[in-house]
Structure 1
Amino acid sequence: MAEHIIYLLGPYRIPGFRGERNVRVYLPSEGAHAAPSPVLFLFDGQNVFHDDPSYSGGWHLHEAVRDLSDRGQVAPVLVGIDHGGSERLTELSPFPGDGGEGRLDDFLGWLASEIVPAVRERFPVRRDAAGTAIGGSSMGGLAALYAHFRRPDVLGAALCMSPSLWFAERKIFDVIASQPVPPGSRLYVDAGAQEDGGSVLRDAARLVEHLRERGYGESNLRFCPDEDGTHSEDAWRRRAPGALQFLFAEAAGERQGGAGEAEGSQQAA
């Protein structure tokens, strides 16, 4: 079996944010004539792949993607966007509160205007919102949920692991309630019963109940409560394969539809 190859883009500077960060890209297949793949952009890129760049271990998400591909299932291209260290809370907070300055909209503007086009130019990924997802855990899970409702024209699905719905006095609930359901929306939400005395799971269940009242069903919303789940990379790594399989299941029926176009050469770094 071929080695996992992760492409390195950057380093990038984000207008208005300090420092630089890299973007890591993993392709499930190197087939030159393969149909364009769906693509999953992920916050906290240091945690997405290997253990070394992560503070507490990586998700090894590339291995889950390779397993899907080897089984003949639709697997996404992964794009891990590094967080800015001390800037992380500010760039992932949708609104001010609890130490975050609420600059996620600025971060999303950069993502949509620079990183999404760069990935679409260099790699064989789909160019439609239905084939483009955003994901993360903890504050990254909150950011992914907000990003999907804020920019459904670009990000048509979201993977929200243990989302920090408590942030800023749970303001995200009012925000989601005030937004229309994005066309073709697809959401994966999970949480562990061992997180913060069960409050993370209770918040996630409240979110899911609201979404179901808004018309979400089994085909476009998956909720995975984890009785043994802790707030840790280990728990997210364990749940990730099922999350990916659900989130991109619809793409399986579109393989022959020709959504998007493959173009651009792949540049390893």
Structure 2
Amino acid sequence: MVPMGPLLRHRLPLLLAFTLGVLAGCDSESDVLFEVTVPPETPADAVLRLQGADPGLGGSSGQGLELVSQGGRVFSLKTRLPKDEALTYRVWMSAPAEQVALDASGQPVPGQTVTLTKKSQTVGVSVERWGPPSGITQPQTVFVVEVPEDTPQDSTLYLPGNQPELGNWDPGAVALYKAVDGRHALSLSFAPGRKLEFKLTRGTWETVERDAQNNDINNRTLTTGTGFERVSITVEGWAKPRPPIPPVLTGDIRYLEVTPSNATLKPRKVIVWLPPDYKDTPTRRYPVLYMHDGQNLMDASTGFNGEWGVDETAQQLVTEGQVEPLIIVGIYNTVDRIAEYTQVPAAPQHAEDYPDAGRADLYGQFLVEELKPLIDSTYRTRPEGQYTGLAGSSLGGLVSMYLGMKHPGTFTRLGVISPSVWWANQNIITQVNALPGKLPLRIWEDIGTDEGDSSQDTTETVEDAQALRDALVAKGWGVDTDLKYTVVEGGQHNEAAWADRFDHILRFLYPQPPLVP
């Protein structure tokens, strides 16, 4: 055995003490991995931090340690923290905006506590939703969208729909942001019970979502709730070029180009359907039905979302003797459709969304003083008011009701189809109530049960339509005599739904045998 030198014998206690101290220090700390699972609407560029009172969770700035994205919805960080101590921490977002973790009810999540008991340990954390430090009390709807693989990386997604919050169907107004895991997201607040209709686009209707086979899809729908809801959407594909839809027109179709004398109204096209015997009976004169949104009536190649099939339906009913032979005139709309189809400006809360509304009087003047005389001089019509009708859907239904009351000597047969009674806080009902008495109008009014169900004034509803019916009845109209009111079970707010009931509308407004003047 080699004898120990004096110096080594002197230092040995110090070395032992140091070693034991190091070992004791290691035993008192834990290498911890925090794994944080975030909600799918978390922004892709989010900066997330984990912060606590312990110096090991403070970071150099005291704001906490920055978590690192691991792909998908997981962020993580590694640090060393004391063992066997209750440690309190919180997870928060410092960018792109300061947000804190909230619970399902919208209240900030209090600091969470963990006690580390192992030399190496993993702590899993889940964030339900994000929000401001004060929390969220109003209803919140979060849209989370998964896109197909062929979506261009630089794409911005938009959510157009039937509410001002959704841009009133402007395809490039309401943008989503890029979220984690390759998704896109958007958070909006709606009053409870709103019936939403919407689609996804990449900024234009030419880039609207379609199914995987490049077919058009129906509007997505959602009735908003009272609290927090996350709506997951999967886009199957985006619109790709496809062969133009060939015009499928039935019967004798004519076109006119019309420029209103008032420069406020834009030039427009007019489509005219003539009855089957028009050429063969040169002395016969015909009643006329004027219809709004003319490009959607007879030609799918020009329709917004298909066509009504007005030409096919009228051709069949007239040929079979189910309706009186008539002429149908479709007036194309313009970019000023909302302005021309509304009788008064928008309600104050929506004035910014519809700044040019309330031009129905001007539009009606064009119909009465310019278009109708042109039609009467060009075709063999029965120009008297008792033979002349006016019909349309949605705002077109609203303006038909209004112009029928405004010009009862010109239009006496009204197709008030899915009317936008909500406009300007139900102003059309106010106008009916102000009538001195019943007018000589034969009115078809209808609504579908799936068009809307809300107390808000931004969507068509069964309750609104019924209120209009009740106002007309109070003025003397008789249900099933000169007022036909129909609630269509499952009826939606689109061209296909209106096509399904156009035959009933024609039979009521232009029955065979003809109405006795």
TM-based fold match above 0.5:
yes
**Counterparts of 1:81 and 1:169, CA distance in 2:** 27
Q: Does the 8 A contact of 1:141 with 1:161 survive in 2?
A: yes
Counterpart residue identity of residue 415, structure 2:
L
Counterpart residue identity of residue 514, structure 2:
A
**Counterparts of 2:515 and 2:467, CA distance in 1:** 31
**Counterparts of 2:344 and 2:316, CA distance in 1:** 37
Q: Does the 8 A contact of 1:27 with 1:77 survive in 2?
A: yes
User: What is the match of residue 267 of structure 1?
Assistant: none
Q: Does the 8 A contact of 2:432 with 2:471 survive in 1?
A: no
Q: Return the TM-score normalized by structure 1.
A: 0.88
User: What is the match of residue 262 of structure 1?
Assistant: none
User: What is the match of residue 150 of structure 1?
Assistant: 406
User: What is the match of residue 227 of structure 1?
Assistant: 489
Q: Does the 8 A contact of 2:295 with 2:332 survive in 1?
A: yes
Say whether residues 1:44 and 2:301 are aligned partners. no
Counterpart residue identity of residue 500, structure 2:
R
From 302, 308, 313, the equivalent of 1:64 is 313
Q: Does the 8 A contact of 1:43 with 1:136 survive in 2?
A: yes
Say whether residues 1:237 and 2:499 are aligned partners. yes
User: What is the match of residue 203 of structure 1?
Assistant: 464
**Counterparts of 2:415 and 2:265, CA distance in 1:** 27
From 410, 415, 421, the equivalent of 1:165 is 421
**Counterparts of 2:431 and 2:513, CA distance in 1:** 29
From 428, 441, 445, the equivalent of 1:185 is 441
Q: Does the 8 A contact of 1:38 with 1:251 survive in 2?
A: no
User: What is the match of residue 432 of structure 2?
Assistant: 176
CA shift for structure 1 position 184: 2.6
CA shift for structure 1 position 182: 5.5
Q: Does the 8 A contact of 1:135 with 1:144 survive in 2?
A: yes
User: What is the match of residue 54 of structure 1?
Assistant: 303
From 313, 330, 333, the equivalent of 1:83 is 333
Secondary structure, in 3 states, of the residue corresponding to 1:249? Answer: coil
Q: Does the 8 A contact of 1:8 with 1:22 survive in 2?
A: yes
Say whether residues 1:247 and 2:509 are aligned partners. yes
User: What is the match of residue 125 of structure 1?
Assistant: 381
**Deviations 1:194-231, CA, capped at 9 Å, x for gaps:** 01226521111111122122221122111110011011
CA shift for structure 1 position 60: 1.1
Say whether residues 1:15 and 2:262 are aligned partners. yes
**Counterparts of 1:181 and 1:63, CA distance in 2:** 38
Aligned pairs, number = 253
Counterpart residue identity of residue 223, structure 1:
Y
Q: Does the 8 A contact of 1:156 with 1:182 survive in 2?
A: no
Higher percent of residues as helix: 1
Q: Does the 8 A contact of 1:149 with 1:181 survive in 2?
A: no
User: What is the match of residue 264 of structure 1?
Assistant: none
Segments of 5+ residues of structure 1 without an aligned counterpart are: 260-269
Q: Does the 8 A contact of 2:401 with 2:416 survive in 1?
A: yes
Describe the shift of the 1:244–1:83 C-alpha distance in structure 2 as closer, same or farther (beyond 3 A).
same
CA shift for structure 1 position 68: 1.5
From 28, 32, 44, the equivalent of 2:275 is 28
Is 67-76 or 132-141 further displaced after alignment? 67-76
Counterpart residue identity of residue 149, structure 1:
M
Higher relative contact order (CA 8 A, sep 6+): 1
Q: Does the 8 A contact of 2:405 with 2:439 survive in 1?
A: no
Counterpart residue identity of residue 205, structure 1:
Q
CA shift for structure 1 position 18: 5.3
**Counterparts of 1:3 and 1:151, CA distance in 2:** 31
Q: Does the 8 A contact of 1:192 with 1:230 survive in 2?
A: yes
**Counterparts of 1:232 and 1:166, CA distance in 2:** 17
Is 200-209 or 143-152 further displaced after alignment? 200-209
Secondary structure, in 3 states, of the residue corresponding to 2:453? Answer: helix
Say whether residues 1:106 and 2:362 are aligned partners. yes
**Deviations 1:138-187, CA, capped at 9 Å, x for gaps:** 00000000010001111112101100000111111111111244543100
**Counterparts of 2:387 and 2:368, CA distance in 1:** 14
Q: Does the 8 A contact of 2:293 with 2:333 survive in 1?
A: yes
Is 175-184 or 118-127 further displaced after alignment? 175-184
Dislocated runs of 4+, deviation >6 Å:
none
Greater gyration radius? 2
Q: Does the 8 A contact of 1:39 with 1:77 survive in 2?
A: yes
Secondary structure, in 3 states, of the residue corresponding to 1:89? Answer: helix
Q: Does the 8 A contact of 1:66 with 1:75 survive in 2?
A: no
